[in-house]
Amino acid sequence: MKAPFCFISRVVGLFVLSTSFSSVASINLPSSPSNISEQRTLFQQVELSLESGSNTLYQQHKETLDEYPLAGHLEYLFLKNRLSHISQQDIDTFVADNPRLPQSSRIQYKWLGWLARKQRWQAYLQAYNRLEKQPGVRYQCLQGRALLATGNQSAAWQRAQNLWLVGKSQNKACDPLFHQWKKAGQLTQSLASQRFWLAVANGKTSLARYIDRSITQPFYKDDTQLFWRVYRNPALLKKASLLDGTQAKHRQIMVYGVKRQIPHNHDKALDLWLTLRDKHPFAPDVRGNLDKRLALRFAKRFTEHAEEQIARIDPEYKYTDVTKWRVRLALEQQDWESVKRNIQQLPEAEQQHASWSYWQEVANIKLSPSSLLVPPEKEVSGTLDRLRQERSFYGFLVADLTGKPFQLNHQSARHSQAELNQLMARHNGFARIKEWLALDRMVQVQSELNRIKPRLTVQERRLLPYLAHQLGWHHQAIMAAAREAMWNDLDVRFPSPQEHLFSHYAQKRGIDYSWVVSIARQESAFNPAAHSHAGARGLMQLIPSTARQAARQKQIPFKKASELYKPETNIALGTAHLEWLTRQFEDNRVFATAAYNAGGSAVRRWLRARGHLPLDVWIETIPYDETRRYVKNVLAFRVIYSLREQGEATMFSPDESMRLALTPAEKTLIASYP
């Protein structure tokens, strides 16, 4: 699960860097480590004082901390405490003195908010015009109110109209502006209609109902009423006389009606769509999106006659994603002729992808009697040999099947310490990043980097993963390496932070260390502050309810969700959950890995439906795209970590290996290829 940075208390941070800083002592900074340490302690004391509303300690020690990298943050807090006593000139001076400091933007927005609360609208406009880029909707709404209050009515109405014409609800700060705009008669029937259809396109039917109250003219109301009729009863689309396909709004109603029908009866929805699709001039992207939505609905549910229904939608194999699922449907049936035929319908570049190359060769082997395998041996062995050279799930799988060595393809870093020092010196934000890391303050760390990244040269961007790695900021090192397509430096991409904790709890739970680390690598890229949209937190991305269950089972102290940002708590609970899943799925690491991502209920449902399949086929036919990628990544990562940590690895356990698509005889045969 991918996770953005979240705000957490400074006590709970990304890294405890007591060891990290010894590794970066060679990076030159203005002060000695001991002086930096003393300044850091004083900084924390002054900061707490400022945050409590007292400026005294700051004024006493301001000069002492002037050279400390985070001095600008203290000045920001000082200004924030004194908004009623400062002027625009004070704000401008701070911004001019600290042009690269994230707090420069923050103080501008704090100032704007204060001016709006005090209804100092002329000053608000002056401050608004100082911003480097257009701010968020709240501040745009306040600008519209400021324009109206200062007599610039036409500009205020234009701002209101622009903010109105979106397919979602706007910030509450817009309400007073919209009220005045409507009161002045600026909300026309045309504008109301436009927003109605924007809301419909965005799936916001509650907003559409609200907007529809403003629509009274029959020219517009007839279409909205027709939409609601079809919304309540999609079967009305069968009436040919009800809708005029030459009208864009009517085509939009048709599409929406078909989508409404899909969850209730996808066979009827398909029949309806094909009738409409072939009769009316839908835009290619609209047609394609609904085609794919229906096709994937059949495929991912493995519905009866799924292939036949998909063939009606896409007889010419136009949609690559759909074709991939036609391969998976054939795999689920173990129809090897169809597997080959469907793979050959993929674009040439896709056919060369490891997954489809692997299944093409498995199909070839399955379709050829053993006695006939000798003539094409060179061709088959050549493909398999190419595959096993790859550092990927299928590359490792082929190596495991053929008894050949795994290929990591590691390339060591090509940079000097001098280059990293120069990067630090050129962008003083990195000195602040180093200090924020020491304080476990990841919101500030990310804000600093966000300001630096646009100014990095191509070469500096390629140095960033190494600098982040050296600073102990492993999450950023991994992500930066991916952005720069630097796939082969495994030192950067597969570090082992918190190794002692992972090792301790893996041993305590009786589960494989490399597997546990691989889960964390996939879940958060070693970001202890990670927080997903689903509420999962920390290194191993635990949802609080799952954490509470694990805590009860193992009698681990756990009181609140914020504790999941502590590495030891997170790893203790995450490994406990993995141990439980391992027992639930009878020591099958594949099923337990899938359950860690998708939940045990989903995996048990898939096993009831397709548990008879060979294990590699089962993995390839996991219905959730995220979980299928997740399982492949974790299994591949486990090989990488096992080789790097222990010098040896296997892809699957003996029991798991026995459940693969190729029989022991077929494995013996391909293992004999040169």
Contacting residues for 409 by C-beta, under 8 A, at least 6 apart: 389, 391, 488
Three-class SS of 151-202: CCHHHHHHHHHHHHCCCCCCCHHHHHHHHHHHHCCCCCHHHHHHHHHHHHHC
The reply to whether 523 belongs to the active site is yes
Strand, helix or coil at 5?
Answer: strand
CB atoms within 10 A of CB 298: 24
Whole-angstrom CA distances from 172 to 138, 140, 159 are 8, 12, 15
The burial of 246, by beta-carbon neighbours within 10 Å (0-12 exposed, 13-18 middle, 19 or more buried), is given as exposed
592 CA to centre of own chain: 22
Contact 564, 542 (CB under 8 A): yes
Report the alpha-carbon distance of residue 218 to residue 197 in Å, rounded.
Answer: 16
Contacting residues for 284 by C-beta, under 8 A, at least 6 apart: none
Q: What is the dihedral of CA 276, 282, 284, 286, to 10 degrees?
A: -80
**Quick one: which of 189, 128, 131 has its CA closest to 155?**
128
Whole-angstrom CA distances from 124 to 48, 88, 105 are 30, 10, 15
Contact 284, 607 (CB under 8 A): no
| Distance between first and last Cα of the chain | 40
641 CA to centre of own chain: 23
Identify the active-site residue in 75, 523, 620, 666: 523
Hey, what are 258's tokens? 């078909």
DSSP line for 505-570: HHHHHT--HHHHHHHHHHHHSS-TTBB-TT--BTTTTB-HHHHHHHHHHHT-----GGGGGSHHHH
Residue pointed to by tokens 């041996």: 377
Whole-angstrom CA distances from 575 to 163, 320, 554 are 48, 38, 10
Q: Give catalytic residues, as residue numbers.
A: 523
